């Protein structure tokens, strides 16, 4: 990716994350697919880890494909639960209840 495309990609990812409503989550892969870069879920994670440099975004609403929260971000589960997101007994988000769909 060129530097310009990188910036465009970053803001594209962040604009998608900004659309996730309170009480819902999206997966890294889902965001990659929505951005047109289906196979770049890890790159989405990297962008989100740097999101603080670009402003305030609800990155806590992004989990992996199993609903697992980021392993080193201890506050993420609390932020999600404060929004009404329920976790299963294994600590993962219940994606059947809380995964964001564009028509929600």
Would you please indicate which residues are annotated as catalytic (active-site) residues? 59
Specify which residues 93 forms β-bridges with.
Answer: 87
Please tell me the distance from the alpha carbon of residue 25 to that of residue 28, in angstroms, as a whole number.
10
Beta carbons of 88 and 67 less than 8 angstroms apart: yes
Backbone torsion region of residue 101, taken as left when φ is above 0, otherwise alpha when ψ lies between -120 and 50, otherwise beta? beta
- With a CB cutoff of 8 Å and minimum separation 6, the contacts of 30 are 99, 100
């Amino acid at each position: 990716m060129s530097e310009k495309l990188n910036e465009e990609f970053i803001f594209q990812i962040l604009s998608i994350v900004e659309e996730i409503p309170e009480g819902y989550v999206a997966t890294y892969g889902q965001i990659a697919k929505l951005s047109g870069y289906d196979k770049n879920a890890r790159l989405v994670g990297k962008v989100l880890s740097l999101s603080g440099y670009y402003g305030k975004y609800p990155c806590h609403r992004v989990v992996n494909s199993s609903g697992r929260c980021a392993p080193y971000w201890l506050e993420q589960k609390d932020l999600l639960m404060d929004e009404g997101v329920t976790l299963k007994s294994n600590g993962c988000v219940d994606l059947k209840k809380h995964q964001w769909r564009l028509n929600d």
